[in-house]
Amino acid sequence: MSSLGKLMKQAARAQQQMEQIQTQLATRTVEATSGGGAVKVVVKCDGTITSVKIDPQALNPSDAQLLEDMILTAANQALGQAKDISNSEMGKVTAGLNLPGMM
């Protein structure tokens, strides 16, 4: 049973570390641009979009579809970067855990 107790302590420690990392990720931001910088999206590493900036020169009503595509591209790039950071940070915590059936 000592190995079970050890595993439980290890899991509890990992959970604490994961909670700390999640708190840190909620404040860490990344940004991505598209259209040569015409659109900039900033996201938190918890997956929330915090801002979208559009260069006023990109606001041409006849190019609405292009602007929408640039926003979508920048948002997806920023969210992808945020997810990579989140996965990397969480992976550091769970790397030493050998939980049967979990990995």
Written as one string, the DSSP assignment of 16-29 is HHHHHHHHHHTT-E
**pLDDT over threshold 90, residue 17:** no
CA distance 13 to 43: 28
pLDDT for residue 11: 81
Q: Which CATH superfamily is domain 2-94 in?
A: Nucleoid-associated protein YbaB-like domain (3.30.1310.10)
The string of pLDDT tens digits covering residues 64-84 is: 888 889 999 999 999 999 999
Q: Which two tokens stand for residue 63?
A: 């190019």
